[in-house]
Structure 1
Amino acid sequence: MTEQAAAPRRTPLSRERVLHAAVALADDGGSESLSMRKLAQELGVVPMALYKHVANKEELLDGMVDVVVGEIDPPVRGADWKPAVRQRILSARRALLRHPWASQVIESRTTPTPAGLAYLNSMIGMFREGGLSVGLTHHVMHAMGSRILGFSQELYVGSPAVDPQVQEAMARELAGRFPYVAEIAMAAAHVEDSVVGSGCDDQFEFEFALDLLLDGIEALHRRGWTPVTARA
């Protein structure tokens, strides 16, 4: 008598499995297209099974942010604060570029996620352990803004991707009305799929601004800068 082959065991559903599946779906179609029903289909379960691990889509998005933040390299121990901060922020940028939907979701969160708080705490610690004062570090975090998490909201001055003849006519009109804007818009080399704007190299612009900030922070630190007491 031939024994019946045992059916393969299904991988148990867990919060980690749910979150990683959601991240993969968002990578394919964006966070807007993600739904609990679609996620359940991907995992081969009924939608109600998901609610044992995430209460709703907002909690799901929080968890997805934590997955992405968890991909950022840990701090480099024993290194000078400036190159260490730079390296870690560029690691954060690589993580955000792997998951293009993540920056928008991070900005939509009303409260920081646990992994997000841990990351910010460690970044603040890198400045403080590097010798920066509490006051300077406070202002540094404001100045760095979203760049500390690997992305930035840029001022758009580029030209839209349109027919070259139409673009040339638009450039002439722009130059007549707003000559300095036109000068900047036409100066950059063309790069496709830029989040800053057509004609801008995202990575170069990000690193340029990051280095500018870090150089300025270092200069203030060397000068022993302290915040000016607010006038009454």
Structure 2
Amino acid sequence: MAPRKNQILSTALEIADEFGLDAVTMRAVANRVGITPMALYRHVEDKEALLDGMLELAMSEVPAPPADLGWEARLTELAGGVRDMARRHPAAIGLAFSRPGYTPGVRRLVGAIHEAFADAGVPERHRARLERMVSTFVVGFAVSEVSGRFPHDQAEGLAREFARDLRDLMGVVRAVATED
């Protein structure tokens, strides 16, 4: 059953990539996979589970940075990985703001961020707050970028802005790490 579920989620992600999230319906996914819509429910509980699975599949494409990198380099690689994934799956990245984010792939990325903060010396009581700040910035920037909010002819400038803003956030992490 797992390979069929993976095929269903991949197909849903393809539909979203091609036509947007509104085109992802149980019927559309079932038709493309070659089964009846009712048969789809044996593999995916409901539309909410389908959307969660799509987010999981997209986030699983973000590579975990090597543990031997410094904390700033790890956070920078994670942020870049999310931006790259957003370019591949522009409709799916928006799910990060509308889904609870409890999938294993999302938890893996959040865990990597918390580990980087621990290595930076951030007290545990501040890590969740900082993770939300960093994640919201990265996902928000990626959503804005792929949705056309930023001018497409300024890709180089956007990359510099993203790097600068991320460095500024690293400064906040360093400040929190040393405030106690």
The equivalent residue for 1:210 is 166
SS of the residue aligned with 2:69?
coil
CA drift at 1:123: 1.4
Please identify runs of 4+ aligned residues in structure 1 that moved more than 6 A.
none
TM-score (normalised: structure 1)? 0.66
SS of the residue aligned with 1:132?
coil
Residues 59 and 138 of structure 1, relative CA distance in 2, 3 Å threshold = closer
1:72 and 1:88 in contact (8 A); partners too: yes
1:91 and 1:150 in contact (8 A); partners too: no
Residues 27-176 of structure 1 correspond to what in structure 2 (within 5 A)? 27-110=17-100, 112-149=102-139, 151=141
1:194 and 1:200 in contact (8 A); partners too: no
The equivalent residue for 1:225 is 179
CA drift at 1:147: 2.9
Alpha-carbon distance between aligned partners in 2 of 1:117 and 1:149, rounded to the nearest angstrom? 15
TM-score (normalised: structure 2)? 0.83
Alpha-carbon distance between aligned partners in 2 of 1:50 and 1:79, rounded to the nearest angstrom? 43
Query: Who wins on radius of gyration, i.e. which is larger?
Result: 1
CA drift at 1:25: 0.9
Gaps of 5+ in 2: none
CA drift at 1:149: 4.5
Residues 67 and 99 of structure 1, relative CA distance in 2, 3 Å threshold = same
CA drift at 1:152: 5.5
The count of aligned residue pairs is 176
Superposition CA RMSD, Å: 2.7
Gaps of 5+ in 1: 1-11, 155-192, 227-232
Code of the aligned partner of 1:85: L
1:124 and 1:137 in contact (8 A); partners too: yes
SS of the residue aligned with 1:78?
coil
Deviates more, 1:81-90 or 1:206-215: 206-215
**Of the two structures, which has the highest relative contact order with CA contacts closer than 8 Å and spacing of 6 or more?**
2
Alpha-carbon distance between aligned partners in 1 of 2:166 and 2:92, rounded to the nearest angstrom? 20
